[in-house]
Amino acid sequence: MKAIPKIPPSLKNPIKLERLLKTKPENYWIERGEKRAIELFHLMSKRVPAYKDFLKKNRIDPGRIKTIKDFKNVPFIDKNNYIRSYPLESLCWDGNIKGRSWIISATSGSTGELTYFPHEEDQDWQYALEAELYLRANFQIHKKSTLYIVGFMMGAWIGGVFTYTAIRLLAKRGGYKISVITPGIDKIGIINAVKKLGHHFDQIIIGSYGPFLKDVLDDGVRLGLNWKEYNLGFIFSAEGFSEEVRDYVLRIAGNKNTYTATLNHYGTVDFGFMSYETPVSILARRIAIKNRNIYKDLFGDTIKLPTFTQVFPEQLYFEEVDGVLVGSGYGGLPLVRYDLKDIGGVYGFEELKTLFKDNGVDILKKIKEVGITDTVWNLPFVYVFERNDFMVKFYLCDVYPETIKKALQHPELEKLVTGKFTMMIKFDESKDQYLEINTELKADIKETKELKSRVAKIIANQLLKENKGYGEVYKQIGGRAIPHVVFWPYEHPQYFRQGIKQKWVKKE
């Protein structure tokens, strides 16, 4: 049997790859990604029992799939029609699960039943490769001693263990002076690691979830830690965040490098690590936010704010189908044309340049102006929104968390609320609908009627500013459209239990 080329040879040498990313054109990488996706399809059709059966049931003859055009006619797989419809062993290469060595991760269960995904060592190397690239490009780990604090959840969830393993692998391969500590989602553990160990290193990188990391910084300030004493960088994951949050984090940390001091991952337990923000993608998103025409052309006519990343097509081949992301990639459970159920799209770098130019912006000139020319890679972009079920319907308008997040990041509220909330639709005694925003106060802040009224007004103003549907509802029902704000003490377990991923929306 032909060996399974899980890591393309071109992606095994990060230093050589970094040079190629700057010199090879984008089409070179896209064509390699297409070729690899087709190769994956044929290997799975022969060596993955579940997929062989799936193709048979859907009357697909693998021999007729020869070009990328043919490939795009292959039916999608997803958790329901594939992952949960076959025994776990039949989803693996050669139907073999007992005779292999795995690290097994689990989904959070937030969108359904718990699902387990076996990961092979090669997936750790895939993550290590791309992590090495951005750690060199953004944080110069080849020049600086580094303490990497893993603030992702440890245990069966993919973030913590996956990150720890990748950092150890790349450190050994590259001979980097990088040390790791794994406090996980322990705020005091992260703060103490910085306080006790930070001065021994040229820089500290903290990897964690956006809202949680913001809490860590706020708690550190409250406990007397001066974050500005350290050279800090941040790796985010698991969900998107606004540019206001990025600016806030950098302001607390005293780091002025907007484009290289932070980056966000896009990953899932299904595939593992998939793509990440680059300095160029951060710049493009920030420009788009300020230029409504660019934003609309790039992301559509929406108030939702996507995570905007660059991707290696050869590692994970993305397609956009009717506004939904579909991925193909090798792994312990190989997946081809897998419906991620994530709303988003794919954009070529050349397309991006043209789009900006058509709107009067020379993106290459902007790249030069902010000093990130050395970080430009000729790779396509992938953007992803939070899923459609992450919103509430208030009368006839859709209310998304992004709007509420912006409101709670208002300068007047910066020292009063954490920015975390859970929103839901409720009904009063008259059976009238209202929007409830459960809001977390910062530590030592007490609620007052004046503060509650101010927060409600700021949220309503933000909704009126960017949500036309809400504006129409407000015209019809007046003051009843103003959200009901419910304050909760810092880290109250009802909605703000420490260490778990924030649930922005609750459906009653």
What gap in Å lies between CA 136 and CA 167, rounded to an integer?
A: 12
| pLDDT of 6 | 58
On whether both 156 and 224 belong to a single domain, the answer is yes
- Report, as an integer, the average pLDDT of 139-168: 89
Residue that is written with structure tokens 């990440």 in the block: 276
The helix-helix angle for 210-222 and 243-253 (nearest 10°) equals: 30
On whether both 457 and 472 belong to a single domain, the answer is yes
Question: What are the CA-CA distances from residue 282 to residues 14, 26, 39 (Å)?
Answer: 22, 19, 33
Residue that is written with structure tokens 């312990």 in the block: 332
- 508 found inside a domain: no
Q: What percentage of the chain has pLDDT greater than the value 90? A: 62
- 159 found inside a domain: yes
**What's the token pair of residue 452?**
């509650």
Spatial neighbors of 81 by CB under 8 A, at least 6 apart, are: 54
What gap in Å lies between CA 391 and CA 422, rounded to an integer?
A: 11
Structural domain tally of the chain?
3
- 261 found inside a domain: yes
- 149 found inside a domain: yes
Angle at 191 between CA 189 and CA 192, to 5 degrees: 65
On whether both 399 and 384 belong to a single domain, the answer is no
- 468 found inside a domain: yes
- 370 found inside a domain: yes
On whether both 317 and 374 belong to a single domain, the answer is yes
Question: What are the CA-CA distances from residue 252 to residues 214, 219, 227, 256, 260 (Å)?
Answer: 9, 11, 7, 10, 16
* Pair type for strands 116-119 and 103-106: antiparallel
On whether both 72 and 113 belong to a single domain, the answer is no
| pLDDT of 13 | 79
Q: What percentage of the chain has pLDDT greater than the value 70? A: 94
Confirm if 443 and 216 have CB atoms less than 8 A apart: no
- Residue 438: pLDDT over 80: yes
On whether both 356 and 473 belong to a single domain, the answer is no
* Pair type for strands 381-384 and 307-310: antiparallel
More confident residue, 501 or 440: 440
Quick: pLDDT tens for 192-228.
Answer: 999 999 999 999 999 998 777 888 898 899 899 999 9
With cut-offs at 50, 70 and 90, classify the pLDDT of residue 407.
very high
| pLDDT of 1 | 45
pTM over 0.95: no
- 503 found inside a domain: no
| pLDDT of 464 | 92
Classify 21 as helix, strand or coil: helix
Confirm if 424 and 507 have CB atoms less than 8 A apart: yes
Classify 385 as helix, strand or coil: coil
On whether both 132 and 231 belong to a single domain, the answer is yes
In order, the DSSP letters of 402-466 are HHHHHHHT-GGGTTTEEEEEEEEEEE-TT--EEEEEEEEEPTTPPP-HHHHHHHHHHHHHHHHHH
Classify 160 as helix, strand or coil: helix
What gap in Å lies between CA 326 and CA 345, rounded to an integer?
A: 9
Secondary structure E strands in 137-209: 146-150, 178-181, 203-209
**What's the token pair of residue 50?**
């579940």
What gap in Å lies between CA 107 and CA 333, rounded to an integer?
A: 14
On whether both 138 and 232 belong to a single domain, the answer is yes
- Residue 240: pLDDT over 90: no
Distance of CA 260 to the CA centre of its chain: 17
Q: Count CA atoms within 13 Å of residue 438 on its CB side.
A: 19
Q: Buried (b) or exposed (e) across 199-230, using 16+ Cβ within 10 A?
A: eebebbbbbbbbbbbbbbbbbbeeeebebeeb
On whether both 402 and 371 belong to a single domain, the answer is no
- Residue 443: pLDDT over 70: yes
- Report, as an integer, the average pLDDT of 318-347: 92
Residue 448, domain CATH: 3.30.300.30
Q: Look at residues 331, 366, 388 and tell me which one is the last residue of a structural domain.
A: 388
On whether both 160 and 251 belong to a single domain, the answer is yes
With cut-offs at 50, 70 and 90, classify the pLDDT of residue 3.
very low
- Report, as an integer, the average pLDDT of 399-412: 90
The domain of 211 spans 101-276
With cut-offs at 50, 70 and 90, classify the pLDDT of residue 111.
very low
What's the chain's average pLDDT?
A: 89
On whether both 118 and 44 belong to a single domain, the answer is no
Quick: pLDDT tens for 155-182.
Answer: 777 788 889 999 999 999 899 999 999 9
Residue that is written with structure tokens 């954009």 in the block: 347
Residue 201, domain CATH: 3.40.50.12780
Q: Look at residues 357, 388, 419 and tell me which one is the last residue of a structural domain.
A: 388
| pLDDT of 63 | 95
- Residue 110: pLDDT over 50: no
Asked which of 86-100, 376-390, 407-421 is least confident by mean pLDDT, the reply is 376-390
Confirm if 495 and 487 have CB atoms less than 8 A apart: no
Q: Look at residues 354, 373, 388 and tell me which one is the last residue of a structural domain.
A: 388
| pLDDT of 64 | 95
- Residue 335: pLDDT over 60: yes
- Residue 496: pLDDT over 50: yes
- 57 found inside a domain: yes
| pLDDT of 396 | 63
Residue that is written with structure tokens 């929306």 in the block: 505
Q: H helices then E strands: how many in the chain?
A: 16, 18
Quick: pLDDT tens for 262-316.
Answer: 999 988 878 888 899 999 999 999 999 999 999 999 998 877 789 999 999 998 9
- Report, as an integer, the average pLDDT of 38-43: 96
What gap in Å lies between CA 359 and CA 34, rounded to an integer?
A: 30
Quick: pLDDT tens for 248-274.
Answer: 899 999 978 899 999 999 888 788 888
On whether both 139 and 181 belong to a single domain, the answer is yes
Distance of CA 499 to the CA centre of its chain: 17
Local structure of residue 501 (DSSP, 8 states):
P
